[in-house]
């Protein structure tokens, strides 16, 4: 099956920045990602590069910072409740953590931790970076009516979103 609107795509990804620094490697992390194609779940350049691909295909795509996580915004500092931080243990300055916001979850960098509040750099850790991606499609299937209605892939044996 070819990747098109309303297909669920499972893929492995290796992401590097413009200097070749490894940012992410799903092979090492041990799990493929899943998304619903055509529902703005990926960067547009990434989605476009995958159109028409099938299981086993590999693609490379380079996405400039402004089309990925944006340029770095100076003084983009926020103070948030420690309760909004999703962490597997103690946090310290320099840690990249998940932050609950009204739109969902985003990654931020801890600047300073207090007893109840945390100062964070609200820029995504990959802001200001060109993303050089190597993507391997591991599976393509038709989306369910529920996935299309919800606008995202649901969990199955190969990954996806859970409710």
On whether both 52 and 17 belong to a single domain, the answer is: yes
The answer to whether residue 160 is domain-embedded is: no
**Number of compact structural domains in the chain:** 2
Q: Which domain holds residue 110?
A: 77-121
The torsion angle over the Cα atoms of residues 156, 124, 105 and 26, rounded to 10 degrees, is 20
pTM score, two decimals? 0.82
> The domain that contains 116 carries what CATH number?
2.40.10
163 in a domain, yes or no?
Answer: no
Q: Mean pLDDT for each consecutive 10-residue tract of the chain (163 residues)?
A: 97 97 93 94 96 98 97 95 90 94 90 95 96 98 96 69 46
Identify the CA nearest to 133 among candidates 15, 10, 6, 2.
Answer: 15
Contact present, 97 and 124 (Cβ < 8 Å): no
Asked whether residue 29 falls in the same domain as residue 53, the answer is yes
């Amino acid at each position: 099956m070819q990747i098109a609107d309303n297909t669920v795509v499972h893929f492995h990804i290796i992401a590097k920045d413009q200097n070749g620094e490894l940012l992410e490697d799903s092979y090492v992390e041990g799990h493929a990602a899943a998304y619903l194609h055509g529902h703005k779940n990926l960067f547009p350049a990434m989605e476009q590069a995958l159109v028409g691909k099938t299981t086993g295909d590999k693609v490379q795509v380079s996405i400039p910072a402004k089309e990925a996580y944006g340029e770095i915004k100076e003084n983009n500092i926020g103070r948030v409740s420690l309760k909004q931080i999703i962490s597997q243990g103690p946090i310290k300055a320099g840690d990249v953590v998940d932050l609950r916001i009204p739109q969902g979850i985003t990654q931020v960098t801890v600047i300073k931790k207090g007893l109840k509040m945390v100062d964070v750099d609200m820029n995504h850790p990959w802001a200001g970076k060109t993303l050089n991606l190597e993507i391997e499609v591991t599976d393509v299937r038709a989306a369910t009516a529920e996935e299309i209605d919800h606008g995202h892939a649901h969990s199955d044996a190969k990954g996806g979103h859970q409710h």
